Structure 1
């Protein structure tokens, strides 16, 4: 990079950032609306609004430190990166490729930060951009491919546990029989979507607690996957027990959605428990008192 490209720039006024933000919202709002509430809502997995809210909160939390960084004169490659992102957005928007739209919005955001604050800005906010990738939907073909073994495993373990405590349950593939009722373990109950959001939440938890041990942070993020699996087993067991005692209408009504809330609460509690157990082996060192 040339000395001119890397030179410090006079501090940009707040009006500049408001204009940039308004321009970004002009692109983002139609795409996000179509994705979560419009023509692409079928692709939504239900957690994107929550994750997007977390991204906004992270930006608000880090904004003072971002503003404190010295402004830079944009390098030529930063302009090229921004132009590439805008072209990708135009292509995705006109050709109706929602994932290209979403990914290009992410790329445009990163390019704007690099143009204004340089690599220091990206180092300051790396976790926010990593977390924002979880908003982009998983291709449905990948969902179908990965949920097949997950559905089998979730339904098998739930059947074994319920059978061990005396419930008259059986299983044929991903169909669980409980008394006179049959329940299909569908993609939504298989755990991939919840694993996706809980992995994001596990990373967020690791980032916020900021343990001194990178190994502990990495293990904590990795354990989000088995934690989500067992939480989904609990969810399926709740639905089977409720359906067995109160009927299919109750099991597929409010209780079905409430079981999703229970899933999230149980998973977060298990992540906290795993963190506490990891702390027994990888504790944070106490800061040494200054002389």
Structure 2
């Protein structure tokens, strides 16, 4: 009875400290959080940001059975990560690097978990904490360069697919000519949104599946070519339909709906790959001799009785 009371009090103490620290962090990092939320709201490439925190909580919930429990005392070593986070935030403000300011949230959360719950709890929460990286928009220069490269890949793949379908497709820069129809692969059509979204979805699934690290890396690596393929298929279908419907209003509908449908298509393809890989490489079952005999009906015992 006393142990239960002590445990209840310790949980209350930890929850109270956590609530106070959460309020303090929200106040101190509010400009950073507002900057990230503005990107989620205004930039379609980062609209998935609203889902990252709930999904991180889902990851923790799915791993609740392996939670190592509370420590008897706080671990001051966690303050080193908190100090690193503060240094990153100061550097981000001084150098006008919003992304560095945003990434400072990761060591901050990790340091708090380490300080309050201990190193075993930090290891337990690492998948969810690392997943929070997807909250932060990419650095502008990196995003611009990546988008430019994705435009080029999308243009090349789509031109090849159109030619395979028997259409006279020629690419000039980021423009595809299909007969007399001009198809512009603009920055908005680079596939950046599906690229980032697929990586986020693959990271979530990789963290939830009970597989080895090699299988999880395969799932993460597969998200990149699948995102490129889905975007190229979208542009190819758009190019084909543009030839059938030359009217401006019809083309706008085709453009919009092809963008809507590529998201569930990409998710379905990634899920199909995940299911196929799990079926192809099933984990080995390790059994003791006693378990094997029990599953077989213990034939030795039966023979002895007979």
The SS at the match of 1:37 is helix
- Structure 1 pair 66–79 and aligned structure 2 pair: CA distance change class (3 A): same
Report the CA distance between 1:231 and its aligned residue.
0.9
Q: How many residues align?
A: 281
Report the CA distance between 1:113 and its aligned residue.
0.8
Report the CA distance between 1:255 and its aligned residue.
4.2
Max radius of gyration: which structure?
2
Alignment of 1:238-257 (within 5 A): 238-247=237-246, 249-250=248-249, 253=252, 255-257=254-256
Let me know the Cα RMSD of the aligned residues.
Answer: 3.3
1:41-60 per-position Cα deviation (integer Å, ceiling 9, x unaligned): 56963332233432243345
Instruction: Write the distance in 2 (CA, Å) between the matches of 1:271 and 1:125.
Output: 25
The SS at the match of 1:177 is strand
Asked if residue 134 in structure 1 is aligned to residue 140 in structure 2, the reply is no
Report the CA distance between 1:215 and its aligned residue.
2.7
Q: Which structure 1 segments of 5+ residues have no match? A: 1-8
Instruction: Write the distance in 2 (CA, Å) between the matches of 1:69 and 1:182.
Output: 63
Deviates more, 1:232-241 or 1:50-59: 50-59
Report the CA distance between 1:228 and its aligned residue.
1.1
Report the CA distance between 1:230 and its aligned residue.
0.6
- Compute the TM-score of the two structures, normalised by the length of structure 1: 0.80
Q: Which structure 2 segments of 5+ residues have no match? A: 1-8, 295-306
Q: Which residue does the alignment assign to 1:70?
A: 71
The SS at the match of 2:183 is strand
Report the CA distance between 1:147 and its aligned residue.
3.9
Q: Which residue does the alignment assign to 1:232?
A: 231
Instruction: Write the distance in 1 (CA, Å) between the matches of 2:50 and 2:148.
Output: 26
Q: Which residue does the alignment assign to 1:107?
A: 107
Asked if residue 32 in structure 1 is aligned to residue 33 in structure 2, the reply is yes
Report the CA distance between 1:99 and its aligned residue.
0.9
1:86-134 per-position Cα deviation (integer Å, ceiling 9, x unaligned): 3433453576431122111222111111111121111101111221112
Deviates more, 1:151-160 or 1:82-91: 82-91
Q: Which residue does the alignment assign to 1:223?
A: 222
- Structure 1 pair 81–276 and aligned structure 2 pair: CA distance change class (3 A): closer
Q: Which residue does the alignment assign to 2:278?
A: 279
Instruction: Write the distance in 2 (CA, Å) between the matches of 1:47 and 1:254.
Output: 23
The SS at the match of 1:68 is coil
Asked if 2 retains the 8 angstrom alpha-carbon contact of 1:206 and 1:220, the reply is yes
Instruction: Write the distance in 2 (CA, Å) between the matches of 1:18 and 1:175.
Output: 53
- Structure 1 pair 205–246 and aligned structure 2 pair: CA distance change class (3 A): same
